[in-house]
Structure 1
Amino acid sequence: MPFSSPRILLGLSALTLLLFHVSDVTASLFSVHKRSPKVVGFDFKKQVPRNTPLANRLRKRQKTVAANIDNEQIAYLINMTVGTPGQPFSVQLDTGSSDIWIPSTESDACREDEQACQTLGQYDSSASSSYVDVGVGQFQISYEDGSAVTGDYINETLAIGNTVIKRQTVGLAFEATRPFGVMGIGYVADESIAATNPNGLYQNVVAQMKDQGFISTLAYSLWLNDLNSLTGSILFGGVDTAKYHGNLVVLPVQTTNGSYTDFTVALSSVSVLDCSGAVQFSQTNLALPVILDSGTTDAYLPDSVVNPILGGVGVINDKDYGAIVSCDLANSPATLSFSFGGNGGPTISVGLGEFVTPVYDEEGNQPTFKDGDTICSWGLMSSGTGPILFGDAFLRSAYVVYDLTNNQIGMAQTNFNTTDTNVVEISGSSIPGASITASAVMASQTFSGIPQETNAATKTGTTQATVAHGSPTFNLCVSQTGNAKKGAASAVGPPRIEITSVTTGLVLLLSLAFGSSVVLLRW
C-alpha cells in the first residue's frame, strides 16, 4: 500500500463538526450560450473536511451530463436520489472506481454516525416501490485507504436532477467504514464484481446514461477549479472549451494486463520552478504510469522523484499530522510542472499553494510549530509500493476529458474561476477541438516509500509542535505575512460547507440533500 499520511479527526465525527453549516447554503445560476442536445448537467457540492480519512485515498484496490462541483478541500460530492419516491443522497464522485454504492439505514456506519447519514443520505428499502435486490451479499469493495464496504446489489431508479435512470445497479452497504457513498464513474471492467465474477459486470451509471439516450458517447470532462474556489463542474457527454487555456491535447489511456481498467497516462517529466521561472528541480524521460483519480485527495509519486521535492520544499513527515509544512508556503508563487506523453504532450503547471491545505486538531484548532508558524498539510507524497496517483491536488489545475469509448484522455491547463461557458457535445470518434500525441512507454512501479522522520512534530495540549518546521532548499520566494501565520488561504477555521452552482448542460432541477435546489439549463 502506498504511504498514506495520518489525519487528525475533528472530534465527534469530522463530518458532524461541519454539518451545522449545511442549512445555510443556497445555489446560484449563470447563463449558458450554446445549444448542445446531449450534454447533461448535475450539481456537485463540496462537503467533507480534509482531515477525514475518507477522501485521502479513495481508490478501489486491484484494479454529456454536466454536473457542478464544490470544493471542500478534500472530496467532491454529487446530489442524487435513489428509489421511488426518491431518497436523497450526496455521494463522492470517483474516477478511480466504477460502482455506485449507498449506505443502508441498517448499516453499521449509519448506526455509529446517525447525524451524518441523516444529512448525507441513507437508504430504506421498505420505503421504495422500485427496489429489487439482485445480489444478496454479493457487493464487496475495498479501497487503498484501508476502508471496505459489503452488502447487496440492488436495481433501483436513480435520479440526478431531471435525469432519471431506470434499473441502475447500486451497491447497498450494510457494513461500511464511512457514512456516505460513492459514485464511481470509471471503466465497467473495473467494477468490484470483476474480482469474483467477471461475467457479472453490469452497465454502470456512465454506460446507463448512454444506453438510455442522455449522452451520445461514454465520455465526460472534469473542471475542479482552484483550491479556494467554491465551485467547479463536470460535463457528461461534452467539453466546455471556455474552461481551459491553450490546446486540449489527447493521450491514449494505457492498459493494465491488456485491459482498460484505470485512467492511466504516461508522465514524462516533473519540474519545480521558482517565482522567476528558474528551474529548481527537474527530472525528465520518466515514462511513469500515472492514474488520474478524483477520489484521491493528494498526488503520489515514486521516491526517486518526490523525495528531492519534499526536501526542497521543507516537508516534515509527522506521526500525528502526516506530511506537513509551514502554511506560509501557500503564498509562494513557485510552481510544479508536469509533462505527459513525451514530445508534443501536454504540460500542466500547478501552483505550490494547491498542495498546501489546513490541518486541524480534535478541537478544530490549527496547530503550530515551535516558532508560531501555522502547520499545514502537504499534498504531494511518495507512492511507496503502490500505484502512482494524481488526485485532486493535481486535477484542480488540469481540465481533463475522460473518453471511455475511444480510450483516451484530453488534457489542458485549467482556466480558473471563469464564469464563461462554451459547451460542445462529444459525439464522434474524437474529442472536439483536441489534438493527438503519442504516449511514452511506461515504467514499472517498484518503490520503497517515504522514510519516517525522527525529528518530527508532536502534539501537545496547546497544539504547538515541539520542533521547528523544515527548511526549504528551493528558492520558493516565500514572504511571511499576517495572513500566512493564520494558515493557508481562506483557512482560518474548519472549512465551511458551501454550495454554489456553475451550470452547463440540460435543464435539471435538483432537490439537494440539504434543503436547497439548483436549476441547470438545457439549450
Structure 2
Amino acid sequence: MNLKMKLLTFTALLPCVHGLSIPDRQDGSPRVLGLPLHRSQIRDPVTHDRNRMRKRDGTVNATIDNLQTLYFLNASLGTPPQNVRLHIDTGSSDLWVNTRSSQLCSMRKRPCAESLVYTANSSSTYKYVSSNFNISYVDGSGAAGDYVTDTISFSGVKLSSLQFGVGYESTSEQNVLGIGYPSNEVQVVRSGLKPYDNLPAKMAADGLIASSAYSLWLNDLDSSTGEVLFGGVDRDRFRGSLISLPIQKVGNGYSEFFITMTGLDVGSKNVGKNMALAVLLDSGSSLTYLPDSMVESIYGMVEASYDPSQGAAFVKCSVQQTIASMTFNFSSPASVTVPMNEMLINVSDTEGEQLIFGNGEPACLFGILPAGKSSSVLGDTFLRSAYVVYDTENNEISLANTIFNATTSNQVEINSKSTAPFATKASNPITATSGLPGGINSKGNTQQPGNAASSLAPSLTLLFVCMMARALI
C-alpha cells in the first residue's frame, strides 16, 4: 500500500512556559519551583531525532541538543534584562544562547527572532570566563564561542553569576537550557575541566530548592499542559508506586540518565523477556528508539510500515482498538504502561487532511523506531505515560505511571540526602549488560526490520529534504 500525502506536518510536544510557580516558604513549606508547560507543534520529529542520534556516534560523549528541543521557558539574561526563550533539555547540561552578531542570526530571514538573542557587551553584569564553549556533532554542526557568567531571571526569581555559553558561531537558531548532569557539560567533556553549577545545581546551591533533583510530568498527547518541578515531587501527578532505580554508570562515572529495561509487553505478547538493556530517558527526543531486533518484532505485532532509508514508521490508527497498551518493564516492581493511542501521532497534509493508506485506512506515525548503532532511547512517546524523578545527587531515577489531566497538586520537597518522597527502592535492581556507550553491545543490533515492517512503506526522502531546506533558508 502507498500513503497518499502532500507535505507532512507532525503534531508533537513543544510546550512553552508562561510563568514560574514559587510556593511561599513560611512555616516550613517546601522549597520547590514548578514550571507549567504548554503544547505546540513540531514539523518533523523523525528528522529532529535523527540529528540527536548523530551526537551519540563515535567518541564524543556530550549529549547536547542544539537543533530543536521540546520544552521552553521565557527568561531574561543580563543587566538590563535581555529576553530569551530557552529550550529545556534533560539530555544536555549547558545553558547556551545565540548572539545577534553570529552569521546564522544575521541572516535576512532572521531565524533567531523567535528564540531571541543575547549580547554580552550590552550587560553590565556580564563577565568573560573562557573560550572553551564548543558543542559539536559528528557531522560538523554545532555551536562555538565563550563561556560567560551573568544574571538570569524568570518570573520573579533572579540568580547571579550563572555560567552559560554564548554561540558566536552556531548552526541552530534555538537557545538551549540543559539540565542534565554537570559532569556532562561541554567544558568537562571536551576540555577536561571541572564542572560548574548549571541551573538546577545553582538553584540548589543558592537555597532556592533543597535538591537539584526535579520531576517531569508531560501529561497526555491531547493535553496542552504539563509540568517540570524543580526540587520536588507532586504526589497528585502519579498513580501506584513510585519506584527508584539506580542510574547506570557510563564508564567510571555518571553522566547521562541511563536505566535498565528488562522487557516489553505489546498487549499480551512479550518482547525481549529477561533482558538487561540500558535505555536513555531523554525528553529532547520526540520518539522512542529500541534495538532493531526488538523493533522488528514490535512492527510485526502492530503491522507497521517502515522505511529504513528514512527511519519513519506508520501504522493504521485503528491499531489501538486491537492492542490497548504496551508495558515497559524495569527492575521489579517498576513498570510503565503506555496506552497505544499515546504511541500514535496524527499526521496530515498541508490542508489539514488526515493522511491515509492506499486502501483509505487512516495512517498514524508510530512512536517507536530502530536505534541502529545508537543508544536505545525512551523519548516522549514513552515519557508522556510516566512520572519521572531525575535525581543527580543520589544517582537515581524514580518511575511511576502518570495520572493524565490531573487537576490537584501535592508538592513535596526532595531532600538531597534521601530517596525521592513516596518512592521505594527496587529490591534487586538489575545492572545493564548491553546498550551503554562504549560498553558491551553498545552499538546495538544493526539488523534491518524485515518484510513485515518495510514492504508497505512510502518514500519520504523528497518531502523531508524539502522541509529541512526550508527550515535552513
Shorter-chain TM-score: which interval? 0.7 to 0.9
Contact 1:263/1:293 (<8 A) preserved: yes
Contact 2:20/2:154 (<8 A) preserved: no
Structure 1: 5+ residue runs without aligned partners?
Answer: 1-7, 64-72, 274-278, 464-523
Tell me if 1:294 matches 2:288.
no
Tell me if 1:44 matches 2:45.
no
Q: 1:96 aligns with which of 76, 79, 91?
A: 91
1:196 Cα shift? 2.5
SS at structure 2 position matched to 1:376: strand
Q: 1:407 aligns with which of 395, 405, 411?
A: 395
Tell which deviates more after alignment, 117-126 or 376-385.
117-126
Residue-by-residue CA offset, 1:274-331 (whole Å, 9 max, x unaligned): xxxxx13433111111111111111111122221001221222235682222333466
Matches within 5 A, 1:201-240: 201-240=195-234
Structure 2: 5+ residue runs without aligned partners?
Answer: 1-5, 62-67, 435-441, 464-473
Q: Partner of 1:347 in structure 2? A: 335
Q: 1:139 aligns with which of 133, 150, 153?
A: 133
- Give the distance between the partners of 1:146 and 1:265, measured in 2 at CA: 29
Residue-by-residue CA offset, 1:111-153 (whole Å, 9 max, x unaligned): 34745522222122233222223223x2122358985222221
- What amino acid is aligned across from residue 128 of structure 1 in structure 2? S
Residue-by-residue CA offset, 1:476-496 (whole Å, 9 max, x unaligned): xxxxxxxxxxxxxxxxxxxxx
Contact 1:186/1:262 (<8 A) preserved: yes
Q: Partner of 1:357 in structure 2? A: 345
Judged with a 3 Å threshold, the aligned counterparts in structure 2 of structure 1 residues 329 and 28 are, in CA distance, closer, same or farther, namely farther
Q: Partner of 1:268 in structure 2? A: 262
1:266 Cα shift? 0.7
Q: Partner of 2:420 in structure 1? A: 431
Contact 2:327/2:338 (<8 A) preserved: yes
- Give the distance between the partners of 1:434 and 1:349, measured in 2 at CA: 18
Judged with a 3 Å threshold, the aligned counterparts in structure 2 of structure 1 residues 9 and 35 are, in CA distance, closer, same or farther, namely farther
- What amino acid is aligned across from residue 74 of structure 2 in structure 1? N
Q: 2:271 aligns with which of 282, 292, 298?
A: 282
Tell me if 1:246 matches 2:236.
no
Judged with a 3 Å threshold, the aligned counterparts in structure 2 of structure 1 residues 391 and 166 are, in CA distance, closer, same or farther, namely same
Contact 2:279/2:378 (<8 A) preserved: yes
Residue-by-residue CA offset, 1:229-282 (whole Å, 9 max, x unaligned): 101111111100000000111111110111000111110110111xxxxx1343
Q: CA RMSD in A?
A: 3.5
Tell me if 1:107 matches 2:96.
no
Residue-pair matches, total: 431
- What amino acid is aligned across from residue 96 of structure 2 in structure 1? W
1:389 Cα shift? 0.8
Higher relative contact order (CA 8 A, sep 6+): 1
Contact 1:385/1:449 (<8 A) preserved: no
Q: 1:396 aligns with which of 375, 384, 387?
A: 384
- What amino acid is aligned across from residue 447 of structure 1 in structure 2? N
Judged with a 3 Å threshold, the aligned counterparts in structure 2 of structure 1 residues 180 and 449 are, in CA distance, closer, same or farther, namely farther
- Give the distance between the partners of 1:323 and 1:113, measured in 2 at CA: 36
Percent of aligned pairs with the same residue? Answer: 35
Judged with a 3 Å threshold, the aligned counterparts in structure 2 of structure 1 residues 303 and 122 are, in CA distance, closer, same or farther, namely same
Contact 2:105/2:111 (<8 A) preserved: yes
Judged with a 3 Å threshold, the aligned counterparts in structure 2 of structure 1 residues 10 and 280 are, in CA distance, closer, same or farther, namely closer
Contact 1:332/1:352 (<8 A) preserved: no
Judged with a 3 Å threshold, the aligned counterparts in structure 2 of structure 1 residues 236 and 146 are, in CA distance, closer, same or farther, namely farther
Contact 1:45/1:78 (<8 A) preserved: no
SS at structure 2 position matched to 1:203: coil
Contact 2:305/2:455 (<8 A) preserved: no
Contact 1:38/1:214 (<8 A) preserved: yes
Q: Partner of 1:312 in structure 2? A: 301
What TM-score, normalized to structure 1? 0.74
1:449 Cα shift? 5.1
